[in-house]
Chain A
Amino acid sequence: MHTLADLGGLVALAGPLAGAAMAGRDTRTALRRAARGAAVGAVGAVIALAGVAMGGTARSALPHLGGTGLLLDHFTVAVLVLVALVGAVVLSFARRYLQDDPRGAVFARSASIVVAGMVLVTAAGDIVLMTVGWVLAGAAFVVTAGYRTDLPQVAGARRSMLRSFAVGDLALVGAVTVIVWHAGDVNLGNRLAASTRLPGHLGLVVAALVGAAALSRCGQGPFRTWLPKTVAAPTPASALLHAGVVNGGGILLLRLDPVATSSLPVTILLFAVAGGSAVAAGVAAGRRPDAKGGLALSTMAQMGFMLAEVAVGAPVAATTHLIGHGFYKASLFLGSGARVTPPVAGAGAGVRRPGSSLPAAAAAVIASLAAAATSAAVMRWAGMAGGSLVAVIALFVAFAAGAAAWGWWEHRPASRGANALAAVTLLAGSAAYGAVAAGAAAWFGPALPAGGHGALAPGWLVAVAVGGVVLSALERDPRLSRRLAGAGLAGLAPSGRAIERPPLRPARQPSGRLIPGLAGAGAPAGR
């Protein structure tokens, strides 16, 4: 039955695929066609959203593919809009940005396939189709980030990505094989829980494999090397990655939710790795001197936070985080060229006021309490369930508001009106966020189960907050800060080229050619 949502979903898939197919070899034509394809896909996604909003969940069937098709419920269609819009913006951006790229047609094709793959991951109706999309998106992304073979660092990035993605893809394929063997090709959606009750040890294995796949796609823990290296690729590739591809890990866990969080040991491990990432990468991101490197590490932290939210059984919060962060990071990456310090600190630069930071700290505390209270109140008033979840969300709102208030206070304008307006904006923003959170719970709630047997409690997220505070406080110690500087420079952050330990034998003497024009240049003294 073809409803508006069906149509929108199919267009969302067909648009980018058509863009890839018709791209051709010439860079400028290919980019133009890919951009158009992605734009059509985005329109389709919005139509699907409208369709679902009006008509409820839709399940479409792709003809000739044996009944497989797309599932468009409240959750999948919202993420679909994110993926499709990001794809459209990135490809439209790339149309001007990569106009000189000798191999820009490769980017056009592979980026379109990435979008199509992510559409499948997001909206596939059954588990096998989702896996196909997953592998497709990963492979296409390796091409998207790795096609510039003329750049020195890209080869290393590609190798790193292939290693991590291969492990993750194998893990996912393994998990899906087990599920299919146990329960057949399972339709996704609410019926997943019922049909896939796996026996204990099998459930643990499947949960671990799925968790590994998610961690690999999100660049967490043992898979942390590839994500910062992707900065070697052109800006649109990075934007697509950080807003479109890394989401895949979170989407996977959310769609396989009761299965993914069915085993407590696995969930604890997942929480530990993701939460650790969120803390460590968050602190390390501030230690990067380059704009894109800082953004990449920030994505690692944010994805860790999102996965931690899934692990603690807060899927709605994870979804809002996924969507919000996607738009946030795409915008920041695309605009990363503007981070040049102007020659003179103009009137609008917000010069920091001298003096002790005690008043700023006080302002931050007041603001954080007010914001937390406001958002919590709105959430409760809007009927959001789960007292501990509301409290945890309010805690993180407090941190965000407090940090922003600190920054505002140190650079505050003289006008009382402006400061009052800022305070009002803060409260209004917190209230709005509370409303959004509650609204999201209402909108996504039915589509997302509350979490499997192994899920932790939302209160565990406080550990992430505590970890972040402790680590940034420790960082103030100069000795530890130097240690972190060393690690931040080389541990989490990639180097410009691979460092190999040179061999022990002395190297051949290069010919002692005189450098004309250098006074006193005799034969170079050496061994």
Chain B
Amino acid sequence: MTGPSRASILVDLDEAARFVPPMWPLSTFVAVNPLWDLRQLGFDGAIEAAGTLYGADLLPPPTPTGDPVPPGRSDPTPDGSRAADRASAAVDDVLTRWCAAFVGGQLGGGDGGGFYAAWRAGIGHDPAARRLAGQRGRAAMAAAPADAVAAIAVALVELGVGDGGRTPAFAARLARTPGWAGLAKWRAQWAPPGTGAPRLTLVDLMAVRLTVEAALHAEGFGDAGTLPPLVRAPGGRDTDRELQRAELTACEDRFRHWLLTALDHPSDDRPAGPPAAQVVFCIDVRSEGMRRHLEAAGPYETLGFAGFFGLPARFRPLGAQGTVDLCPVLVRPTVDLIEVPAGGEEAPAARALGALAARGAAAAAFETGREHPVGSFLLAELTGPVLGAAALARTVAPSWTGRLRSWARQRFTSPGLTEVVPEAGDRGMSLDEQVHYAASALSTMGLVRGFAPLVVLTGHGATSANNPHASALDCGACGGNRGVVSARAAAGIFNRDEVRAALAAQGIVIPPSTWFVAGEHDTVTDRVEVLDRHLVPASHLAGLEALERAIADARVALVAERSADLPGAAGARGPDGVDARAVDWAQVRPEWGLAGNAAIIVGPRRMTAGVTLGRRCFLHSYDAATDPDGTALETILTAPVVVAHWINAQYYFSTVAPELFGAGDKTVHNVVGGIGVVTGTGGDLRIGLPRQSVFDGARSVHEPLRLQVVVEAPVAMVDRTIRRNPVLGDLFDGDWVHLVARDAPGSPWSRRLPGGRWIVWERSNTEEVGAVHA
């Protein structure tokens, strides 16, 4: 074909898509730095570039943190007075409606599948398109080329966009619907191969958009060649930005001062003797509170490790048809895990599966009846009173209803005793692979000697009801799922005699008296449930029960601490107490999640033991003494630290730009196609976290600042690791995160400046110590 090379168009589109945050489907919400693909520009450069394109202010407002965000500061005010705006808004409308219909499955497969093909087949009948572009314009849209790339090329010619202007033109258009564009980008760049429908692609999206614009242009409507951004930059003068940058830096300096000062005073009352149990939690900030209270409640030692326990797995639940990936999105799963009934428990499992199948069939029957145009009438009458009674019960007595549902679940659909094991065959784990996994996991944590009789691997998850963003509260290291499965599989591997024998040969001796147990921490109710009890030998049961009692004590203290911040939860036993929040379908804020996160501390627990960090820090266990060649450090810096940065950036951008990179008000969310939410009747898919996750009314609970990385390891080794990994160079040299390190306890802290220079961190007497937790 003449004109621009097809491949060049695709390259320019990909380049323009760097401004768009990838958006995962809601069931596996992944917190991501929205400007991750602009990281090479550095923090300042990326903020500038994205701020210009989106017309938004991406720095925290120039008022002291804690005050309300002035309205209009960074929120979009769609300006309807300009003609070009109306044209682009109209095109947005056509595009978003068709995207929603495609993703919702209403358009069928189209001719040969794909969004562009389905749109092209149906646009000729769209009354709204005719109102917009006239009969001729609509016919022109339907007559566009069948190939999406060709359609883009043709439309670009019509709009008069030359080779040099392609990328800005694409970027300006993608920026008008970052939600749908983000979903398409996820599909192209992040989704595992074999992900099912719907296949919304960037090429199709752009083809549809440009074809509509070209048709409008041909009919003489509006200048759509260059588009104004969707949101306005509300009078952001450069002097303001300097002030905002200075305030952000000052805020981060204050936090760093507070943190490093606190770390200089770790508590000395560690248990004198060996611990009765070691409990390994996820690095998640919410674990910090539980670890602190648990260590105060008894002779227990806690460690931090990424919540997937180093096992990148694809998991098939009992009786399920599909699989789910339980690992950070940076990694592809390498192991297949499956849940099977424990020995002799096949009958209860089969019964439970039968009950589940019956429940599924009943739900399908209800849905089919509900969707049938004629059958729905009497179905509403028949089921109305039952549903109404359930709604009444759930609303006025959520705890009681929740208990009833748990009882029913236990009684009928609980599969009895099961185990999580690697699959048989070559997709599972050979003995060598299991040994390799066990050795690397233990070395990365620094737990290679001094094992307690009980080692509890505790994953985490969050229970909430009627919450489209429920997955945002689950474990990010498990790809937005609950961490219990990884814990169970890992514990199983560590308990195998053959694995222990091989580990001993490598120098990691796990005594026979040590037993690994799996648990799950529900971060809404702060209950820790121990799983697979049937696998625990009788000799360890007493110790396990003592631990559970200690956890219960710790829970009381932790719930009291958390309830002080949760609106309505302090001293409440009704629907506002933490237990009810997990089952209350009206509760719009089951917990604060990772709001307030500010730092990640990589080092042994003695660094932070007893220090009240206010649930603001990720904690990853690391012992430089067990890591002479720096492999564990590199593993930690290139994965958990990146994930922590993503979470921190997600919260940052959802706080400073809640309508652009945040999902806005949750109460008007409308689930589309089961994979995303729009606001109200339609429009762009919403990305990021809802307001209720970071704001309490008008007050921002999350303090927007960049992640502070604190490492206890030889500074030279840290420096070498950063130099060897371009992604770390992007992060640290680009000023996306801050880094301080010290060789050993008692050494002075060294701060790494962007560019690689290390300076000694001085504690200045004039810096005030800021509040711990808003």
Contacts and interface: CB of A to CB of B under 8 A. Distances in A.
A494 B682 contact: yes
Given A92-B395, A343-B27, A411-B361, A331 B388 contact: yes
A517 interface: yes
A397 interface: yes
Contacts of B90: 499-500, 502
A510 B52 contact: no
B358 interface: yes
Contacts of B381: 320-321, 324-325, 328, 433
Interface residues of B, number: 158
Contacts of B104: 288-290
Interface stretch (B182-190, B275-283, B462-470, B503-511): B462-470
A120 interface: no
Interface string B675-702: 1001111110000000110011110000
B673 interface: yes
Contacts of B714: none
Query: Which of A234, A283, A507, A510: most chain B CB closer than 10 A?
Result: A507
Contacts of B353: 347
A515 B164 CA distance: 13
B165 interface: yes
Contacts of B84: 507-508, 510
A495 B97 contact: yes
A205 to B, nearest CB: 31
Given A349-B360, A408-B365, A490-B97, A93 B374 contact: no
B485 to A, nearest CB: 11
Interface stretch (A8-16, A168-176, A182-190, A465-473): A465-473
Interface string B420-445: 00000000000000000000000000
Interface in B99-145: 100-101, 103-108, 121-129, 131-132
A296 to B, nearest CB: 9
Given A283-B373, A410-B364, A231 B680 contact: yes
A422 interface: yes
Interface stretch (B551-559, B583-591, B605-613): B583-591
A14 B315 CA distance: 57
B719 to A, nearest CB: 28
Given A290-B104, A504-B221, A151 B671 contact: no
A486 B377 contact: no
Query: Which of A231, A320, A405, A464: most chain B CB closer than 10 A?
Result: A231
B324 A415 contact: no
B563 interface: no
Contacts of A154: 680
A468 B567 CA distance: 49
Contacts of A517: 38, 41, 45-46, 48-49
A85 B375 contact: no
B418 to A, nearest CB: 12
B356 A489 contact: no
Contacts of B359: 348, 350
Interface string B456-493: 00000000011110110000000011000000000000
A105 interface: no
A194 interface: no
A508 B224 CA distance: 11
B385 A327 contact: yes
Interface in A272-319: 278-279, 282-283, 285-293, 298, 301-302, 305
A457 interface: no
Given A101-B667, A502-B90, A481 B108 contact: yes
Query: Which of B78, B86, B586, B674: most chain A CB closer than 10 A?
Result: B586
Given A341-B675, A485-B107, A404 B365 contact: yes
B674 A490 contact: no
A350 B382 contact: no
A515 B89 contact: no
A92 B586 contact: yes
A442 B508 CA distance: 81
B97 A496 contact: yes
Given A302-B377, A418-B358, A496-B97, 8 more contacts: A99-B589, A100-B665, A279-B373, A345-B320, A403-B369, A411-B364, A418-B354, A502-B87
Q: A-B pairs with the 4 shortest C-beta distances? A: A289-B104, A327-B388, A350-B360, A407-B368
20 contacts: A96-B584, A234-B665, A290-B681, A324-B384, A330-B391, A331-B388, A334-B586, A338-B466, A340-B671, A344-B323, A347-B319, A407-B366, A414-B354, A491-B127, A496-B96, A497-B92, A497-B683, A516-B45, A525-B162, A527-B160
